[in-house]
Amino acid sequence: MIDEMTPYYQERIRWLPPQQRKIVEYLCGRDRPAPVKMIARRLFATQQTISSQLKDLRKKGYVQAAQRGRESLYEITEPLMRICVEVKENQANGPLRILVDFLRIWYDGEELNSRLEVCESGGMARAYLESAIKRNTLHGNLRKKLLVEGFRAELGDEQSQQWSSLIESCATQSEVLGRACGEWAKGDDAKALTTLKEITDGKCGASSKTKAQAWLLASAIHLEKKSDGSAMIVLAFGRFRRCPHRSGCKSIQDPRPDTQVSLVTLIRQMLISAWLSI
């Protein structure tokens, strides 16, 4: 089917003016939507020029946009066009990157390894699985990256700056743990606690380490909900300072009543550092 569709999409791209053709080819080569400023920078054009061209491409049905805060993110409307462009450029006849990335998103790291173990050697399926595992090793777990980026987009710049480190730390250990932390960051404590309970109850097949981290995160959420001021902050800080596993942690400001450190900020700092103790 791809071989049959490739000439059609190649011809559609040839119909475009040179600048629009470059934009489409650039977006076909990306694994995620791109903002105007990024497209302009990569194509050595002004943002005004690229915005005008993208507006025309949207009318023609080549690209679509989604809002993220104040900026628009653009991607190719038809995924098949991306595949056909890559087929044209894939002279080595190896695994197509877009299909490899699909596997990286559809399966987590453990599932990829499990499927590789039972896959017959020498087949195309094995080549794609090996390529997906290799790209995860070189570039990081794409599925978890998209999870973190999704929460960053929902939280906005200020909250994202405050929460990103903790969400990323959780997602690195477990996708479900990262999802629970992201819900907590958004203010949905109930959803976060429900997800954490699934981990601690063993419904997600989590490791002992992940369960311990889920208990830690759930305790932090309850601590925040039940806190009644600086006395609780000082108590929590005192307990944390006695933790024997804080070597290598960055120093944390002492949250005495005369400081401006909020409980949520302290809890985040405690969690990131306490991760080393599990």
Residue 185 included in any domain:
yes
Residues in Cβ contact with 242 at an 8 Å cutoff, skipping those fewer than 6 apart: none
Highest mean pLDDT among 9-18, 53-62, 176-185: 53-62
Residue 147 included in any domain:
no
pLDDT digits (tens, 9 = 90+) for 4-39: 677 777 788 888 999 999 999 899 888 788 999 999
Confidence check: pLDDT of 162 > 70: yes
Confidence check: pLDDT of 257 > 80: no
Residue 58 belongs to domain spanning: 2-79
Is the Cβ–Cβ distance between 176 and 204 less than 8 Å? Answer: yes
8 with 110, same domain? no
- State residue 151 phi and psi, 5-degree precision: -70, -40
115 with 62, same domain? no
pLDDT digits (tens, 9 = 90+) for 205-235: 778 888 888 888 888 888 776 654 333 343 4
At position 18, the amino acid (one-letter code) is P
CATH number at residue 21: 1.10.10.10
14 with 100, same domain? no
Helix (H) or strand (E) holding 64: strand 63-68
Count other C-beta atoms under 10 Å from residue 145's C-beta: 18
Residue 87 included in any domain:
no
Across 56-63, average pLDDT: 94
Q: What is the pLDDT of residue 64?
A: 94
216 with 263, same domain? yes
Across the chain, what does the average pLDDT equal? 78
The two tokens of residue 240 are 């944390």
Q: What is the pLDDT of residue 7?
A: 76
Q: What is the pLDDT of residue 78?
A: 85
What is the tally of structural domains in the chain?
3
265 with 177, same domain? yes
42 with 67, same domain? yes
Q: What is the pLDDT of residue 6?
A: 73
Mean pLDDT check: name the lowest of 45-54, 85-94, 183-192. 85-94
Highest mean pLDDT among 80-94, 121-135, 239-253: 121-135
181 with 258, same domain? yes
Is the Cβ–Cβ distance between 192 and 180 less than 8 Å? Answer: yes
Residue carrying the six token digits 């894939």: 90
